[in-house]
Homo-oligomer: A and B are copies of this chain.
Amino acid sequence: MPEFLELLPPAKALETLLQHLPAYHPAAHVVDTTAALDLVTASEILSPEPLPAFPRSTVDGYAVKAADTYGASEALPAYLKLVGEIPMGSKPTLTLQNGQAALIHTGGMLPEGCDAVVMIENTQTVSPNEVEVFKPVAVGDNTLKMGEDVEPGQQVLPAGKKIGPADIGGLLALGILQVPVVLPPRVGILSSGDEVIPPDQKPAIGQVRDINSATLSALVRKFGGNPVLYGIIPDHFETLLAAAQRAAQECDMVIITAGSSASVRDLTAMAIQELGEPGVLVHGVNIKPGKPTILAVCNHKAIIGLPGNPVSALVIASLFVVPVIRSLLGLPASPPSPVLHARLTINVPSQAGREDWVPVRLLFTPEGLLADPIFFKSNLILTLAKADGMIRIVPEANGIAAGETVDVFQPFG
């Protein structure tokens, strides 16, 4: 199976892959809310109780009857009788009568008879028993009714929400101590190539250490997946096929990094094609680095063949593997990525019609942030390790000129 003659643009290639994936019903389990950071809700979470659980003040000030403050001004303050202070940790015992006020703190429960709170800035105590109010309040001002924030049964978090610090707080505020989350999808990782050896061995002449297993594991873990390593597979069709079949059986998706020569890339495509219908969808993407990328769906699972060289493998994984992991988690596959803006230090040529990704170093200068492209002769992974981010040159362009402002992506941290 040769590479397809027509190379797909990256966006079209990803769309093709995602379109062939079935709607996914992720496996869920329940974890403590405080341990749910960065996990994804498996179903919507509804509130078991109202919030606030009692009518409360949203400011420091005086609990009043609003009608007693009507017309109050700096020139003509309203004078109210100070009848006490609302305690913070318990239910107030006093009841406000006409013309009365009680000191109240933010979060304090409104006493009976109170329908508004005057901010402390708009008052002055005249004596221990009297307070002047300079500004009128309307009924409800600076207060929250019971259940005004959240009613019982109201949605607190939707399904498919990545849980952040604020979400954990929102759940705990409602006494929700456990939460159903998506089990991290299992991502099988196979590294192939006769010349590839484990990183703890000393390479003999002609051998290289397997680093794709580790870089792809880290990327998978960073984006919420559970990497499952199948080790280094020799360039032998039946062996590769057997390992890929086992991985496809045991995992939710599979990535295979090919050996580096063209003949071996074909081996990978042939093995993937045997894994099930519909098989290989994209073989070759119009991108640099990463042209010999293989995208397939076999028996409802994404199978992705990555180039063997570590820079290409990591760039392509960030563009094609990450969106699939996100889909498997129930998240949007490709949300917009936050970027930094920087000015390019030198011209970067590119071939029109092809999308190019170029690693850059960020330079902090008095004139602002600069993006300095890193060009390496080899496809050494240390190129990316030295980079602070990457810039994209769209297929429509044949390069970006020095001095232009570019978006700097940070696709793998």
Contacts and interface: CB of A to CB of B under 8 A. Distances in A.
A340 B216 CA distance: 26
Contact of A168 (B109, B210, B215, B340): B215
Interface string A11-41: 0000000000000000000000110011000
Interface stretch (A270-278, A378-386, A395-403): A378-386
Chain A at the B interface: SS class: loop
Nearest to A389: B338
A265 to B, nearest CB: 10
Contacts of A385: 156-157, 164, 166-167, 169-170
A262 to B, nearest CB: 5
A338 B336 CA distance: 12
Interface centre among A51, A60, A170 (most CB of B within 10 A): A170
Contact of A169 (B108, B264, B314): B314
B379 A58 contact: yes
Interface string A263-299: 1100000000000000000000000000000000000
Copies of chain A in the complex = 2
B173 A381 contact: yes
* Max chain B C-beta neighbours (<10 A), residue from A37, A149, A173: A173
A346 interface: no
A261 interface: yes
A333 interface: no
B262 A148 contact: no
Nearest to A193: B88
Contact of A199 (B51, B172, B235, B336): B172
Interface stretch (A74-82, A122-130, A218-226, A348-356): A218-226
A378 B58 contact: yes
A105 interface: yes
Contact of A382 (B149, B162, B337): B149
B173 A107 contact: no
B88 A166 contact: no
A58 B308 CA distance: 12
A377 B379 CA distance: 55
A6 interface: no
Given A156-B382, A206-B90, A381-B173, A218 B58 contact: no
Contacts of A166: 215, 314, 381-382, 384-385, 387, 412
A413 B164 contact: yes
A260 interface: yes
26 contacts: A34-B217, A58-B377, A87-B206, A88-B206, A90-B204, A91-B204, A91-B205, A105-B263, A144-B378, A148-B377, A149-B377, A149-B378, A150-B380, A156-B382, A164-B385, A165-B314, A168-B215, A168-B218, A169-B384, A175-B202, A175-B209, A177-B200, A336-B362, A336-B369, A337-B338, A338-B338
Interface of A: 33-34, 37-38, 51-54, 58, 60, 87-92, 105-109, 120, 144, 148-150, 156-157, 162, 164-170, 172-173, 175, 177, 193-195, 199-200, 202-212, 214-219, 221-222, 235, 259-264, 308-310, 314, 336-340, 362, 369, 376-382, 384-385, 387, 408, 410, 412-413
